[in-house]
Structure formats: C-alpha cells, structure tokens
Amino acid sequence: MDEHGVQRFQSLITAQTGLHIRPEEGERLAQILQTRLEQHHLSSAEEYCSLLASDTPASAREWEVLASLLTVGESYFFRDQGQCWLLQDRILPELIARRSQERSLRIWSAGCATGEEPYSLAILLDQLLPGYTGWNILILGTDINPQALEKAKRGLYGAWSFRLVDPAVQRRYFIRHKKGWELVERIRKRVIFQVGNLLRDPFPNPSSPLHDMDLILCRNVFIYLQQEAVRRIVAKLAATLREGGYLLTGHAELPPTHSLPCLQSRVFPESVIYQREEQRQGEERRERGRESRPLIRKKFLQKKPLPLSGKRDREPPAGVSPTWEEVQDLFQRGEYILAIAKGEALLHKDPRHVDTLCLLARAYANRGKYDQAIRYCQQALAIDPFALPPYYLLAHMAEEQGEIETAKQHLKKLLYLSSTCIVAYLELGALYSREGNEMRAEKMQATALELLSTLAPETVVDPYGELTAGELQQQLSVAEETRGAMAPQGGGGLHA
C-alpha cells in the first residue's frame, strides 16, 4: 500500500470525523484501506479517496461503513457512578424545577454509541418523574456509527453492559431473554436515535431537534478526537444549549473553562459540569474583563429523588454491632450508605479485616467517592499485598476517570499476582482496543478465551467472586453475536 495513499486516506478521515489517528494505528488503517479497495474492486488508494471525497450517495454509504470500522463504541449503563449521582441528585432535579412551568425538557446524548447512556438518562428521569406524566421530554441519542444505533434501537444488551448496574435496577427495567436483557418498552420508546456527525453537521439547527437543549452529555467522545475538532464541536454544543443548560463530558476531556465559549464550570465532588452562562452574565463578564463569579446555586427540588437502588438514602440505625454477612448482604442489595456505616463499625472492631476494607472501597466507589475508595484499597493492600480485589477496583476507577495508563498498570499487577485472572485479560484487551492497538487486544482476548475453555462452568473468574465461567461464556457469546450482526467491525476487545 503506497504511503501517500494511506496519508490522504488519514487526512480525509480526520477532516470528516475529527478522529485523531495515532502513528501506531497506521498499519490498521492500511489494512482497512486494502479491504475497502477490494470490496469496491478499485486498484489504487487515490481512486478510493476520490470516491470518499465525492459528494454522492455512494460516498455517504462508504462513510457509514468506515464509521463502524474506525470508531470505538464501548459503553455501559450508568457509566461513571459519580456523574450519575450528580445527574440524579442535582442536575436533573434542578432542571426539572427550572422547567416546571413549561413542563418540557430537552436532553441530548451526543456520541451515544449503542444507547446505554441515553437509556440510563431515561431511567433516571423515570425515577424522578414517574411515567413522565404531564411532561414533554425529548431524549435524543446521536452517533456517527449507524450500526451502533441499530443496536441501540433494539434495546437488547449482554450482561457486560450492566457491569455497574444495581441488580435491583436491572430487574426493574429489563426483561431477561435467552440472548440478553431487553429494556422495557415504556423506557425504550422514550429515547429517539438519529445518525449525526458532531464535526460536520450544522447545529444549533431549529429545523432539526438539535437546539435549545437543557442538558447535553458528550462523554468519552473527545478523547478520540483532534484538539481542533474538539474546539469546534464544543463551540457548537455550547450554542445548542439553552441559557443555564448543562454540558457534561468525561473527566478531564476539556481544557479549563477560560477557553470555552460562554460556558462556566461548576465543580462538584463527583465531577465538573459546564453551564451555559446567561446572556446578562456574559455581558457583565466581558464588561469587567475578567471571569464572572460562579453562579449562585439554584434551589433544588425539595422532594428527594428515588435513588438508583431504591433504598440509598435510608439512615443507618444506631446500636447493635453488625456482622460481616450483614454488611455483605447490604452491599449486594445496593444499600451502600448502610453498608458503609455498618462496614466501618465492623472495621472498628477488626481494623485488619481485608474483606471489609475491600467491600468498603467498592461501596465508596459505587457512590462515586473515589478518594475514600482509593484509601481503603491502599489500606487493604498494606495488610495483604497479594489481595486481588483492590487492584481490580483501582483499575476500574482509573478507567472511569480516563486514566487509561494507570488502569492498565493495575490490571497488569493483577495478572502478575494471578496469571489466570480471565477478566483482567479481557479488560486489558478492551483498553488496548480503545487505544487502537488491535494486535495486543486480540492477544489478550485469545488468552482469556483459551483459559475460559479449560474451566468448569461454576468456576469463579473475577476477583470479586461474583462471576462464574459459565456466566462469562454466555456474556461473551452475546457480545460475539452482536458483533456478528454489526459486521464489519474492527478487531477484538469487548466493545458492547
């Protein structure tokens, strides 16, 4: 494959999608190009690039195929627990209070992949406004990858998409089938999906749904894009918000606010969120020639929202000392506040109980309180440097916060301590794939599958002791079937 041809292909991709192609992805790109040339019976990269650059239906169709080959569609329900708490406890109640006269809300999940993000929002709203009665609510999911959106519309997910979901919520909103979990229709029909290119599509656009948004989620999209593309997209997203509306991105995906157009950052323990400033504020700020003061916090709804677990806010009772089984049970049922209160009481009696330390770390992590979770992981490792759950949890927290290198290091430590830890191979593979390193991703997945094939179905395969080989096998078959249905898809990994 001639180098000039690959370079032109790469420039076209970046201009069309904003995707940042790393040098190590050159070989993969050349392979994709070769396959597409064969598919179209073309003999040179030049001819193929002319097809892509033409303004024709054939070009549009080809970009759709490329979108599915080039993008990473990794997603899962209630991704980033901290941000989910923030949305549920503060942002959505605030928006509901603010829009209570009009009784209308407009929400956009931009870069929604296979739909877990907009559906998670639809579930949160269902808990805050049961049945949405009397409200007109738009929840829009868009993505450049039409095949991912087809999967989103089906609403059928493998267990891997529920890795952070409280089982009670899963049972309440999903129906179990042989092939996975299907979102109940009343929630499914609340979300509409449409293909969209964040870089190239014009918005705000009053003749499309893309205008006057109260909330935009654009998470884990910018990490894959070039800085200039990010700058242009953020300016358009900001203009698509109503005054006072919010933009939520992944952690550390955006530069500091002074370079963001008409957006003010509001800092919460769980996450930073960007708020479109009101016109008056912008004018005042410009007049003063310096940053405007932070917005006065709006009064939140008095009524407490239903927690994800349905029980989160119950106060811990005083007295009677808890047992380890009791704490474990509370944790399993998603009652994290109680599990923390009782777990800490238990720890008081036995400060070196590694299982309690690990469980407390997980309970804090599930509440988005990563600092405490990390502290408990460190305490557990100080007592037992060979304990596996702290490394597994540290890897998840690092991934949630976009610290991919750190996540990889923790998973590698896990494998160093337990070379048969199948889930660590799979997750490491997913991280390599996310970085475009398909060769390593495939190697990791192959090792995991080989190990898996040697185990009895009831063997536990994860450090938390919650997943058996049989269950994992089933999850992987569903992921494989989905990938087959969505072919052509690049590489291995566990992209949902």
- Give contact residues for ligand SAM (rule: CB under 6 A): 17-18, 71-75, 79, 111-113, 117, 143-145, 148, 196-199, 219-221, 224
- Output the smallest distance, CB 431 to ligand SAM, in A: 12
Closest CB to ligand SAM among residues 99, 190: 190
The rounded distance, in Å, linking the Cα atoms of 313 and 172 is: 19
Q: Which two tokens stand for residue 21?
A: 């192609």
Closest CB to ligand SAM among residues 79, 342: 79
- Output the smallest distance, CB 87 to ligand SAM, in A: 13
- Output the smallest distance, CB 200 to ligand SAM, in A: 7
- Output the smallest distance, CB 63 to ligand SAM, in A: 11
Other C-beta atoms closer than 10 Å to the C-beta of 269 total 11
Q: Which two tokens stand for residue 147?
A: 């095949």
- Output the smallest distance, CB 493 to ligand SAM, in A: 11
- Output the smallest distance, CB 373 to ligand SAM, in A: 20
* C-alpha to C-alpha distances, 82 to 167, 226, 363, 364, 479, nearest whole angstrom: 18, 27, 12, 10, 26
Closest CB to ligand SAM among residues 144, 394: 144
Closest CB to ligand SAM among residues 146, 310: 146
- Output the smallest distance, CB 233 to ligand SAM, in A: 7
- Output the smallest distance, CB 166 to ligand SAM, in A: 18
Q: Which two tokens stand for residue 338?
A: 């109680």
The rounded distance, in Å, linking the Cα atoms of 107 and 126 is: 14
> Any idea what DSSP says for residue 21?
P
Amino acid at 78: F
Q: Which two tokens stand for residue 114?
A: 């296979």
Closest CB to ligand SAM among residues 342, 408: 408
Strand stretches in 153-295, DSSP E = 156-157, 174-177, 180-183, 191-195, 213-218, 241-249, 263-267, 272-276
Outline where 165-313 has alpha helix (H): 167-173, 185-188, 227-240, 279-288
Q: Which two tokens stand for residue 49?
A: 């690039």
φ and ψ of 391, to 5 deg: -65, -40
Q: Edge-to-edge strand order for the sheet containing 263-267? A: 191-195, 136-143, 104-110, 213-218, 241-249, 272-276, 263-267
- Output the smallest distance, CB 29 to ligand SAM, in A: 16
Query: Going by C-beta distance under 8 Å and a sequence separation of 6 or more, which residues neighbour residue 249?
Result: 218, 219, 222, 274
In this structure, are residues 149 and 195 in contact, taking their beta carbons and an 8 Å threshold? yes
Closest CB to ligand SAM among residues 197, 459: 197
In this structure, are residues 84 and 368 in contact, taking their beta carbons and an 8 Å threshold? yes
Closest CB to ligand SAM among residues 157, 224: 224
Closest CB to ligand SAM among residues 94, 400: 400
- Output the smallest distance, CB 338 to ligand SAM, in A: 29
Q: Edge-to-edge strand order for the sheet containing 174-177? A: 156-157, 180-183, 174-177
The rounded distance, in Å, linking the Cα atoms of 168 and 53 is: 50
Closest CB to ligand SAM among residues 198, 263: 198
Closest CB to ligand SAM among residues 72, 92: 72
